[in-house]
Structure 1
Amino acid sequence: MAKISVIGAGNVGATTVQRLAEMEFGSIVLVDIVEGLPQGKALDLMQAGAIVGYDTKIKGSNDYADIVDSDIVIITAGAARKPGMSRADLININTKIMKDVCEKIKQYAPKSIVIAVTNPLDIMTYVALEITGFEPNRVFGMSGILDTGRFASFIADELAYSKRDVEAMVIGGHGDQMLPLPQHSSVFGTPLPELLGEDVIAGLVERTIHGGAEIVALLKQGSAFYAPSAAIVQMVESILRDEKRILPVSAYLQGEYGQKGIYFGVPAKIGCDGIEGIIELELTEEQEHALKESSASIRENIEDLDI
């Protein structure tokens, strides 16, 4: 059985542990710096097992030593962007958190696969790679699955079809410069452009790009966690079961899509070794231009990192 550690006992981390516990992949460690928080949530989730019907062992801890020999480490720890906080401020704060977390991962779980969830995601995943020194295939970020899930959900609602029959694809940076791909999205094999008009598709694309902000605005405090946790578990499942699924993740590019040395949302084959291949999709000239703009923004932020 696998050992999975989740760093950060906030909404995303705790909900991820709940979903993982119900899947019974193995033992789980929930780590947070706040005393009592991970222990209390772990105890609550353990007791839920007697009702829901799972025997997963869950430990809450404030000590990183408890992640020792983890197969997978999921990083959800980090500050959320608050009113008046610039993007640069958020990057600086979360870079410090990410450095501390990844130094501990390098020390206690040097053979693990690392899934980064902390925002700004593509940049923080790059920090994770630099600090751990792991192979790029073992360090990647959760982004595209979440963005693709939002796009698929909006498509299904627009067409009044089951979400199970919708295949969507979103690549690029995780944020306002993400790139939903209608021509690579379909409903039961039928390409989206054959089902909806350009104006309707444009509206769905725009809503997908701002999908996270829409939830933040409604919640007033906090951000999404149900869909992000579901995306994380889909990645974990493909790794532990060696499913080799093609999933959009933030992957380290080494020439793919004309990019090198940055993390970027692309479809990748995910198996027991982490990223086992990157799929290059055919893009329109306009999409290629948008992709370059998105990558340029990520690259600028990486160059300003203090690591």
Structure 2
Amino acid sequence: MAEVNDRKVAIIGCGFVGSSSAFALMQSGLFSEMVLIDADQDRAEGEALDISHGLPFAKPMKIYAGSYNDIVDAAIIVITAGAGQKPGETRLDLVKKNVGIFKSIIPEIKKRDCGGILLIVANPVDILTYAAAKLSGFPENRVFGSGTVLDSARLKYLLGEHLSIDNRSVHAFIIGEHGDSEIAAWSSANVSGIPLRDFCEMRGFYQHEESMRKIAEDVKNSAYEIIAKKHATYYGIAMSVRRICEAIIRDEKSILPVSSIQHGEYGIEGVSLSMPAIVGRDGVERDVPIELNEAEKEALRKSAETLKDVLENSAGL
């Protein structure tokens, strides 16, 4: 296995999400080398040049367009390649197209015996994370998806707006599928250790069920709303990629709701979905069991069944 360069990242796919992620990572100062790979070599070269021209305002870094041979020593290989979600499309509608693309990308990675971490960002992220784990042969801790990291950030943002408080003081997770069957884990949500319901009442809000339902729906529909207005989402997910990369490179052991293959927790087996997990230098160390009520557990199992059905009937995995 190739020795890993902790200061190197590779991004496969230079569309809106890939190039925005590259820009966010350039600004982060985490890496001193970044290789961009795309089926359209000119696109990769153009993005590398465009981002490189801002380096006099940032930290020294080598940014270039390359090939799969350049990923061997990368600490993190970020995969954003795939068809984007169109207005009116669900993430699961992308399954066949993007699993097909992964069946050409992942074998190229596998044959190079890379020692880094595969971070899957393309949608449907849960299906593609499972596909990447199975097709790459990487240990499961080194293959995971961005999952509901962005959904959870959206939830914190909306709760911060609702309560007129700093959204960084909100601790709440979206779990399950990154998509229509996702679950807001309300029973473990809190604001600086104060249960969410109690904090809402402190701020003069008493219509808990109605407010929670609306906020959860707004989170779930965020991407659809943005896609309807500007045809793609990319800044929020780029910031999520940067956050996950920070946790890995700095070995922070941060708790993030990334998508990884489940093995029996809550009766869920053999499917990839998002649960809070400890993320550090070796990837996913372990899932973190959070408090869920019976309705949330049942919704999580249903989310898993939705994904399993897609895996068996549409993904050809």
TM-score by length of 2: 0.91
Cα drift, residue 273 of structure 1: 0.6
Cα drift, residue 110 of structure 1: 2.3
Q: Report if aligned partners of 1:67, 1:109 keep a CA contact under 8 Å in 2.
A: no
Match 2:30 to one of 7, 16, 25: 25
> Deviation per CA, 1:133-177, whole angstroms, max 9, x where unpaired?
111111000022101000001001111111222222111111010
Residue correspondence of structure 1 range 66-105 to structure 2 within 5 A = 66-82=70-86, 90-105=94-109
Match 1:218 to one of 222, 229, 233: 229
CA distance in 2 between partners of 1:88 and 1:194 (Å): 37
Structure with bigger RCO (C-alpha 8 Å, 6+ apart): 2
Cα drift, residue 24 of structure 1: 2.2
CA distance in 1 between partners of 2:219 and 2:190 (Å): 16
Query: Which residue number in structure 2 is paired with residue 300 of structure 1?
Result: 309
Query: Which residue number in structure 1 is paired with residue 9 of structure 2?
Result: 4
CA distance in 2 between partners of 1:155 and 1:89 (Å): 29
Q: Report if aligned partners of 1:172, 1:291 keep a CA contact under 8 Å in 2.
A: yes
CA distance in 1 between partners of 2:145 and 2:92 (Å): 20
Structure 2 CA distance for partners of 1:180 and 1:89, relative to 1, 3 Å: closer
CA distance in 2 between partners of 1:183 and 1:194 (Å): 12
Cα drift, residue 103 of structure 1: 1.0
Query: Which residue number in structure 1 is paired with residue 58 of structure 2?
Result: 53
- Gaps in structure 1 of 5+ consecutive residues: none
Q: Report if aligned partners of 1:170, 1:181 keep a CA contact under 8 Å in 2.
A: yes
Query: Which residue number in structure 2 is paired with residue 178 of structure 1?
Result: 182
Match 1:198 to one of 209, 215, 232: 209
CA distance in 2 between partners of 1:7 and 1:210 (Å): 27
Q: Report if aligned partners of 1:173, 1:295 keep a CA contact under 8 Å in 2.
A: yes
Q: Report if aligned partners of 1:71, 1:109 keep a CA contact under 8 Å in 2.
A: no
Cα drift, residue 108 of structure 1: 2.6
SS of the counterpart of 1:108? coil
CA distance in 1 between partners of 2:222 and 2:78 (Å): 23
Residue identity (%): 35
Aligned AA for 1:306?
A: G
TM-score by length of 1: 0.94
SS of the counterpart of 2:50? helix
Structure 2 CA distance for partners of 1:109 and 1:37, relative to 1, 3 Å: farther
Say yes or no: does 1:106 pair with 2:110.
yes
Say yes or no: does 1:42 pair with 2:48.
yes
RMSD: 1.6
Q: Report if aligned partners of 2:259, 2:274 keep a CA contact under 8 Å in 1.
A: yes
Cα drift, residue 208 of structure 1: 1.1
Structure 2 CA distance for partners of 1:88 and 1:270, relative to 1, 3 Å: closer
Cα drift, residue 109 of structure 1: 4.9
Q: Report if aligned partners of 1:183, 1:193 keep a CA contact under 8 Å in 2.
A: no
Bigger mean CA offset, 268-277 vs 278-287:
278-287
Q: Report if aligned partners of 1:69, 1:108 keep a CA contact under 8 Å in 2.
A: no
Q: Report if aligned partners of 1:102, 1:128 keep a CA contact under 8 Å in 2.
A: yes
Aligned AA for 1:6?
A: I
Query: Which residue number in structure 1 is paired with residue 279 of structure 2?
Result: 270
Structure 2 CA distance for partners of 1:81 and 1:22, relative to 1, 3 Å: closer
CA distance in 2 between partners of 1:109 and 1:228 (Å): 28
SS of the counterpart of 2:286? strand
CA distance in 1 between partners of 2:288 and 2:228 (Å): 34
SS of the counterpart of 1:210? helix
SS of the counterpart of 1:146? helix
